[in-house]
Amino acid sequence: MLDAIWPRSASLATDGALHLAGCDARELARTYGTPLFVVDEDDVRSRAAEYRAAYDDAEHPFEVFFAGKAFLITAIARWVHEAGLGIDVASGGELAVALRAGVPGDRIVMHGNNKSVAEIEAALDHRLRAIVCDSLDELARISAVAALREVVAPVMLRLTVGVEAHTHEAIATAHEDQKFGLSIADGSAARAVTLALGDPRLHLLGFHSHIGSQIFDAAGFEIAAHRVVAFMAEMARAHGFTPEALDLGGGMGIRYVEDDDPLDPAEMARRLRAIVVHECAEAGIPVPHLSVEPGRAIVGPSTVTLYEVGVVKDVQVDEQHHRQYVAVDGGMSDNIRTALYDAQYTAALANRTSSAPTTASRIVGKHCESGDIVVRDLAFPDDVHAGDLVAVAATGAYCYPMASNYNALPRPAVVGVRDSVARLLVRRETLDDLMARDLG
Ligand SMILES: Cc1ncc(COP(=O)(O)O)c(C=O)c1O
């Protein structure tokens, strides 16, 4: 067993090779090529089940929806569904994947800040649990599509509560200036409630709030819940409206590097429940049906990206320092997070053990950008060489779904591992796939 950054089934063989669910990384690389996403199926299944159990409660259970944007392929949609989770989709494409996996419409909610008419039609036709409405324009669009379909659309309103995760109440309003949601502060949210309640084509189920990602404690949720519940109380006074549903979004953090210290899911669940129950009691309103939408926390730790090293270069940083640049056969096309928001990762040699001293290193990709960095700062053995395999941990969230064809690189394959058996879940893209869409 390796530490909590790596998938639960990860272990090191005596010769130093990384094993995932009993599958040897060298064998996986030989069979499926690199770069390769390797997903520990039982890791995903067990985290999904743990989240479901953590948020369950006799009196005030939370329903858990997996935020599919983190990593949505048919197999993963099926695993989390089998573990009892619903799915939040952010596009018609994600909806198609969830439906293909056999997830019924009433276990799916649809998000997005600019849903197309076709996406709204699909949401209504498949009788999704809710469409989470993000703007006044969209409210009108949902109503128009529902009228044409002669149905009533179940909607929730995504509220902008002015809370920035990790931050303090005093500067929380800074986060009004972003594209998502209906602002409580500027009156858009109240206007949306009035419009929705007066529209026979809309069934207003309740409210939604999502405050950010990679959050380690409950403080931001506390401020958000306080503001959402205050808004609910205001709407109860103004319209006699009691929401059926309240979703507190996702954002539960995971461990990428040793310093990361997220709250245990059961403790986070306990705190969120206590906050909502307390706020509702203070406001004198009933506790609605509760839900959360973790994405990263369900799939992030389950996956490792395997790369092959091609070039190692020693670069003089300044008079005192040098850095070992380890170039691998992927990069920002399979993991944009480091370039996009300075994400941190942990990596290790996956094909052998090394007793060589470690040196300040950077794992970089093969793309034509100096910002093409996979792991910005790490200590890595100074005997790493071409042909070695490098494993980067915790790449299960927002890597594969954000993959691109930059520099015309075919996107990697995804392999699931369980009980010493590997199964191809998504085949590697080929140059023929790329050429097929380019009509010359
Ligand atoms: C509305 C909504 N819900 C849930 C999530 C999932 O967040 P995370 O993967 O950090 O849990 C996101 C992420 O962007 C989101 O926008």
* Predicted pLDDT of residue 1: 56
Per the CB < 8 A criterion, the answer to whether 375 and 332 are in contact is no
232 backbone dihedrals φ, ψ, rounded to 5°: -60, -40
Please list every protein residue whose CB sits less than 6 Å from any atom of ligand 1: 67, 69-70, 88, 111, 210, 213, 249-252, 293-297, 397
**C-alpha to C-alpha distance for 422 and 36, rounded to whole angstroms:** 12
* Predicted pLDDT of residue 222: 86
* Predicted pLDDT of residue 3: 79
- Going by the DSSP 8-state scheme, the letter that residue 400 receives in this structure is G
Strand order in the sheet with 18-20: 10-12, 18-20, 23-24
Centroid of chain to Cα 203 = 28
Q: Single out the residue of 39, 82, 95 nearest to residue 301, CA to CA.
A: 39
Q: Atom 4 in ligand 1: which residue has the minimum CA distance?
A: 250
Measured CA distances, 357 to 66, 88, 354, 382 (Å): 42, 46, 8, 6
Q: How far is the CA of 250 from the centre of ligand 1 (A)?
A: 5
Per the CB < 8 A criterion, the answer to whether 106 and 128 are in contact is yes
Residue type, 170: A
* Predicted pLDDT of residue 4: 87
Q: Read off the tokens for 416.
A: 């699931």
Dmax over CA atoms of the chain, in Å, equals 73
Predicted model pTM: 0.96
Q: Read out DSSP for 50-105?
A: HHHHHH--SSSPEEEEEEGGGS--HHHHHHHHHTT-EEEESSHHHHHHHHHTT--G
Pocket of ligand 1, candidates 210, 299, 337: which has the most ligand atoms within 8 Å of its Cβ, to mutate?
210
Instruction: Quickly count: other Cβ atoms within 10 Å of residue 342's Cβ.
Output: 9
Catalytic residue among 23, 133, 280, 368: 368
Q: Is 179 exposed, middle or buried (0-12, 13-18, 19+ CB in 10 A)?
A: exposed
**C-alpha to C-alpha distance for 404 and 341, rounded to whole angstroms:** 17
* Predicted pLDDT of residue 259: 94
Strands 303-316 and 322-328: antiparallel
Q: Atom 10 in ligand 1: which residue has the minimum CA distance?
A: 251
**C-alpha to C-alpha distance for 66 and 88, rounded to whole angstroms:** 6
Q: Read off the tokens for 8.
A: 């639960």
Per the CB < 8 A criterion, the answer to whether 183 and 174 are in contact is no
* Predicted pLDDT of residue 166: 63
Q: How far is the CA of 195 from the centre of ligand 1 (A)?
A: 27
Pocket of ligand 1, candidates 213, 256, 341: which has the most ligand atoms within 8 Å of its Cβ, to mutate?
213
Q: How far is the CA of 36 from the centre of ligand 1 (A)?
A: 25
Which atom of ligand 1 approaches the CA of 297 most closely?
A: 11
pLDDT tens for the 440 residues of the chain, in order: 577 899 999 999 999 999 999 999 999 999 999 999 999 999 999 999 999 999 999 999 999 999 999 999 999 999 999 999 999 999 999 999 999 999 999 999 999 999 999 999 999 999 999 999 999 999 999 999 999 999 999 999 999 988 777 644 544 444 678 889 999 999 999 999 999 999 999 999 999 999 988 999 888 888 898 999 999 999 999 999 999 999 999 999 999 999 999 999 999 999 999 999 999 999 999 999 999 999 999 999 999 999 999 999 999 999 999 999 999 999 999 999 999 989 999 999 999 999 999 999 999 999 999 999 999 999 999 999 999 999 999 999 999 999 999 999 999 999 999 999 999 999 999 999 999 999 99
Which atom of ligand 1 approaches the CA of 296 most closely?
A: 9
Residue type, 60: H
User: Does the annotation count 368 as an active-site position?
Assistant: yes
* Predicted pLDDT of residue 164: 72
* Predicted pLDDT of residue 169: 53
* Predicted pLDDT of residue 178: 82
Question: Dihedral of the CA atoms 296, 302, 308, 313 (nearest 10)?
Answer: 50
Which atom of ligand 1 approaches the CA of 214 most closely?
A: 10
Q: How far is the CA of 30 from the centre of ligand 1 (A)?
A: 35
- What structural domains and CATH numbers belong to the chain? 10-40+301-437 (2.40.37.10), 111-294 (3.20.20.10)
**Ranges of H-type helices in 185-284:** 188-197, 219-239, 265-283
Per the CB < 8 A criterion, the answer to whether 387 and 360 are in contact is no
**C-alpha to C-alpha distance for 269 and 57, rounded to whole angstroms:** 10
SS (H, E, C) 139-180: HHHHHHHHHHHCCCEEEEEEEECCCCCCCCHHHHHHHHCCCC
Q: How far is the CA of 315 from the centre of ligand 1 (A)?
A: 38
Q: What is the pLDDT of residues 4-57, one digit of tens each?
A: 899 999 999 999 999 999 999 999 999 999 999 999 999 999 999 999 999 999
